[in-house]
Amino acid sequence: MPLVEVVNLVKHFERGGGLFARKTLLRAVDDVSFSIEAGETFGLVGESGSGKSTIGRCMLRLIEPTSGHVRFRGEDVLSFDRTRMRAARRDMQMVFQDPYSSLNPRMRARDIVEEPLAIHRIGAKAERRERVAELFRLVGLDPAHLERYPHEFSGGQRQRIGLARALALNPSFIIADEPVSALDVSIQAQVINLLLDLQDRLQLTYLFIAHDLRLVRHICSRVAVMYLGKIVESGATASIFAAPQHPYTRALLSAIPATDPDAPRQRIELDPALVRPETPLREVGPGHYAAV
């Protein structure tokens, strides 16, 4: 049984609608299904507006999906009441993109990391303090800096604080939404390595939402490519990068900047006429699906 299953997930937003204007329907997530096995890193890629972040938010019910199912360990998360959902969130956590805006600037690092423990009333005060120091060490921060405020840390360190907070409740599943895209290049690799180490040590399962395909290729075992709210291709990362089938995937992969000045440049432009939204996914290779 997969750890996480997303089945026919739909999220529509209503837009506009003034005195004379008709409301328009934005199909941010349009019938999306995928599953994630325990211990794997599943990548969700696509451009801004493709719906990839909305999926992550729907899975944790930070926003309520319009329809569909999100199963975690076989149970439908969307049917949970408040109490059950709160308990479920201990096991499913999120790391956000922007460590500058996702940490409360008026809270000390200690309190930011401790807050989930306090909310879930875990341990006595002294135990929590000990756990926070342990989490700090786990993510490579110096416990001597526990009393500092977020602005006293660099971007990479702030992302580590966000990670320590996400790990506080011992989750098994973490949704990482563009966790390094706001960081400097030389710091990105540190945070990625930390995510990989933690996965090893704590048997974590990741949903990795990203637009950097080089990174996705490096760390994800399987990947789904989103375009205009739909998955247009999914499968093992190696087979998608070796033989992309959907015109959008081809365009996306050909747009990755080469890091070799002499690499031949072969840009493939996407012809939107080639993308028919009604085309269903079909198996084009072992475990490799494409809407072609």
Instruction: Give the contacts of 278 (CB within 8 A, at least 6 positions apart).
Output: none
Of 188-247, binders to another protein (CB under 8 A) are 188-190, 192-193, 196, 211-215, 217-219
The edge-to-edge listing of strands for the beta sheet with 205-210 is 92-95, 173-177, 205-210, 41-45, 222-227, 230-236, 288-290, 282-285
Q: Is 265 near another protein (CB under 8 A)?
A: yes
Encoded one letter per residue, x for contact with another protein by CB under 8 A and - for no contact, window 107-146 reads: ----------------------------------------
Amino acid at residue number 175:
I
148 near another protein (CB under 8 A) = no
Q: How far is the CB of 75 from another protein (least distance, A)?
A: 31
Pick from 126, 144, 263, 273: which binds another protein (CB under 8 A)? 263
Q: Is 255 in the site for another protein (CB under 8 A)?
A: yes
Q: How far apart are CA 7 and CA 157, in angstroms?
A: 36
| Interface with another protein (CB under 8 A), residue from 14, 81, 260, 278 | 260
Of 130, 147, 184, 271, the one binding another protein (CB under 8 A) is 184
* Closer residue to another protein, CB minimum distance, 72 or 153: 153
Could you give the count of Cα atoms lying within 13 Å of 59 in the half-sphere of its Cβ?
30
* CB 265, CB 248: distance < 8 Å: no
Q: Residue 285: is it exposed, middle or buried by C-beta count within 10 angstroms (0-12/13-18/19+)?
A: middle
Q: Does the footprint of another protein cover residue 250 (CB under 8 A)?
A: no
Q: Which two tokens stand for residue 44?
A: 């969700």
Contacting positions for another protein (CB under 8 A): 47-48, 154, 156-157, 184-190, 192-193, 196, 211-215, 217-219, 251-252, 254-263, 265, 267, 269-270
